[in-house]
Amino acid sequence: MIVIFGSINMDLVARVQRIARPGETVLSRRAESFFGGKGANQAVAAARVGRGGPIRVAMVAAVGDDPFGKACLDNLSRNGVDTGTIRTIEEPTGCAFITVDETGENAITVASGANMAVRAADLPDSLLSGASVVVLQMEVPLAENLEVAARARRAGVKVVWNFAPVPQVSGREAMAELLSATDVLVVNEHEALSIAEIIGDAAGDDYLAAGAALARSFGPACIVTAGSRGAFAIAPDGTQAHAAARPITPVDTTGAGDTFVGVLANGLAEGLEIGAAMGRACAAASMSCLTPGAQAGMPDRDALERYIA
């Protein structure tokens, strides 16, 4: 089983010619709502690709007692995610304000709401002990993530941690504590560079050097996702693996990273090597960019296998 500990949002999306600069107003035809939140996106990606197989997905999270919260829970259940450990509370459901430009690039502001009430104590030991992989992101309180990571490691459960968005911790030691609690770190190229800078290993614009420094100094396998250039895994001893992305014309890249993480977690839980798991994750992430919204383009197992073949 995979336990996803993290965020659930409703995404409010406006398509724009170009993303507004500070102080500027741009117009968009209409807003649309999509299911989102990095945690929920990763849970749906893992559940869809794993459906019919042996790897179940449970999510630990919180939503508000409001229409968004109810819709988000229904959506997770429909996708086969176990929602028994999601609390409904007196805070608004998380909401993300997203603008997507003509090239499929986005800018996102998250109003966290209920996500900030997620607690490590919401994850029962009975659930953790049945898991082989725990997946974390950075949209719930950092201290709670860290506690879940520590508990997972003590229980021999693999920690896949997506440092998105990059935690605003000050200094090498605080970042080192997070990295040392991680088995598989997943970051995009910008995140890799910012983390390297925070730990004092600034790598210019060389995201592979940044990833290698993180893996070497703190021990996690570091996966850097690099958009159309695919993904690179760097082991602590410097060994590298690469998986290619598919050549596509993206419609909406929102959630591509989450698709990668969810499908990667499924592969690792199935016992694949990191390189093979990354290959599937890259293909799924490419597919997800072809449909508007974070989750709609995520493939099930059959669609993914047809796409890869």
Binding site for ligand RIB (CB under 6 A): 7, 9, 11, 36-38, 41, 96, 108, 110, 139, 254-255, 257-258, 294
b/e 99-122 (16+ beta carbons within 10 angstroms → b): bbeeebebebebebbbbebbbbeb
- # binding residues, Na ion (CB under 5 A): 4
Q: Which of residues 271-290 bind Na ion (CB under 5 A)?
A: 288
Least Cβ distance, residue 164 to ligand RIB (angstroms): 7
Quote the least distance from Cβ 108 to ligand RIB, whole Å: 5
Task: Find the shortest distance in angstroms from Cβ 31 to Na ion.
Answer: 16
Please report whether residue 41 would count as binding Na ion according to CB under 5 A: no
SS3 221: strand
Structure tokens at 254: 């929102």
Residue number with CB closer to ligand RIB (38 or 158):
38
Among 252, 266, 277, 281, which residue sits at the site for Na ion (rule: CB under 5 A)?
Answer: 252
Q: Which residues, 6 or more positions from 96, have their beta carbon under 8 angstroms from its beta carbon?
A: 9, 10, 11, 12, 36, 37, 108, 109, 110, 111
82 is catalytic: no
Cα end-to-end span (Å), the chain: 27
Q: How far is the CB of 255 from Na ion (least distance, A)?
A: 5
State the Rg of the chain over Cα: 18
C-beta of 32 vs 66, nearer to Na ion? 32
212 vs 225, which CB is nearer to ligand RIB? 225
Per partner kind, with CB cut-offs from 5 to 8 A, the member of ligand RIB, Na ion, none near residue 139 is ligand RIB
41 marked ligand binding residue: yes
Instruction: Count CA within 13 A, CB hemisphere, residue 224.
Output: 25
Write b or e for each residue in 133-154: b if 16 or more Cβ atoms lie within 10 A of its Cβ, otherwise e.
Answer: bbbbbbbbbeebbbbbbebbbe
227 is in an annotated binding site: yes
Contact yes or no for 196/202 (Cβ under 8 A) = yes
Residue type for position 149:
A
258 is in an annotated binding site: yes
Asked if residues 56 and 132 have their Cβ atoms less than 8 Å apart, the reply is no
Q: Which does 37 bind (CB under 5 to 8 A by kind): Na ion, ligand RIB, none?
A: ligand RIB
Which residue is listed with tokens 């995140």?
A: 191
Residue 286's SS3 state is: helix
10 is in an annotated binding site: yes
Task: Exactly one of 82, 206, 258, 300 is catalytic; name it.
Answer: 258
Separation between Cα atoms, residue 237 and residue 43, nearest integer Å: 31
Based on the shown chain and the rule CB under 5 A, indicate whether residue 297 belongs to the binding site for Na ion. Answer: yes
Cβ nearer to ligand RIB, comparing 48 with 213: 48
Residues 133 and 269: beta-carbon distance below 8 Å: yes
288 binds, options Na ion, ligand RIB, none, Cβ within 5 to 8 A by partner type: Na ion
Task: Give least dist CB 83 to ligand RIB, A.
Answer: 17
Residue ranges binding Na ion (CB under 5 A): 252, 288, 291, 297
Q: Point out the residues that are catalytic.
A: 258
Q: What residues are designated binding site?
A: 9-11, 37-41, 139, 188, 225-230, 252, 254, 257-258, 288, 291, 293
Q: What residues are designated binding site for substrate?
A: 9-11, 37-41, 139, 258
